[in-house]
Amino acid sequence: MLSLDLSFYNWELFTNYILKGLLFSAQLTILATVGGILFGTLLALMRLSGRPLLVYPATFYVNTMRSIPLVMVILWFFLLIPILIGTPIGADLSATITFIAFEAAFFSEIVRAGIQSVPKGQTYAGEALGMTYGQNMRLVVLPQAFRNMIPVFMTQTIVLFQDTSLVYAIGAYDLLKGFEIAGKNYGRPIETYILAAATYFVICFSLSKVVRNIQARIAIIR
C-alpha cells in the first residue's frame, strides 16, 4: 500500500532546491509578460493599421504562434537559434526569448480586442481636436484600452506562470525542476511532485483572487 510522508519537506530543502527554481519561474513570467505585452501591442497596432504590408505579416505571425504547442516552440528555439547564430545561448535565455515571442501572439489578441472595445466616439473626438493617428492611439485609445485589459492581462500571466513548467523539456532550472531534483536527493519523488502541484495551485489560486478583486474595482470605476 502506498504511504505518503511529507515530513522531509523543510526550510533547508526549500532554500537548497525549490527557491532557485521559483525565482527563475517568477523571473521568466515577468519578462515574458512585459516583453509579450510590448511586442503584442506592436502586433495589434499592425493588424489594426489597415495597411496590407503590416496586416498580413502580423496576422501570419499571430495565427502561426497560436496554432503550435508551446513545448514545440520551446524546442525549436532551443535547437535552432544556436545553429543560426553559431553559438549556444543556454536554456535560460532560450526560454526567455521563446516565451516573449510566443506570448506576444496571445497578448496581441488581448490588446486588439481592448482597442476595439473603446467607443469609436473617443477616436472621432481626438480626430476633431486635430490629433494624428499616433497621438490618438497614445493619448486617447490605449490608456482606456489598457485599463480595461488589466484583468485579462493578469489572467494570461497566471496561465503563463503555469506554462513555465514546460521549460523542463530543455533542462532549465524552473520550479518543477527544483522539486524533481529535491525528490531525487531525498528519495521522495511522488511526494515532491504532489508538493509541486500544491505550490502551483496556491500561487495561481491566490493570483486569481487578486484578479477578481481588480476586476471588481474596474467595474465600479466604469
Question: How many angstroms separate the CA atoms of 79 and 85, rounded?
Answer: 11
Q: Give the burial string for 138-163 (b: 16+ CB within 10 Å, else e).
A: eebbbeebeebbebbbbbbbbebbeb
Q: Is pLDDT of 3 > 80?
A: no
Chain segment 138-150, per-residue pLDDT in tens:
888 888 888 888 8
Please give the pLDDT value at position 145: 83
Chain segment 80-129, per-residue pLDDT in tens:
888 888 888 889 999 999 999 999 999 999 999 888 888 877 777 777 87
How confident is the model over 161-172, as a mean pLDDT?
A: 93
Please give the pLDDT value at position 125: 78
Please give the pLDDT value at position 43: 95
Give the domains, in start order, of the chain with CATH numbers: 11-221 (1.10.3720.10)
Q: Is pLDDT of 219 > 70?
A: no
Are the C-beta atoms of 45 and 146 separated by less than 8 Å? Answer: no
Q: Is pLDDT of 25 > 70?
A: yes
Per-residue DSSP letter, 130? T
Are the C-beta atoms of 17 and 185 separated by less than 8 Å? Answer: yes
Please give the pLDDT value at position 1: 45
Considering the entire predicted model, what is its pTM? 0.88
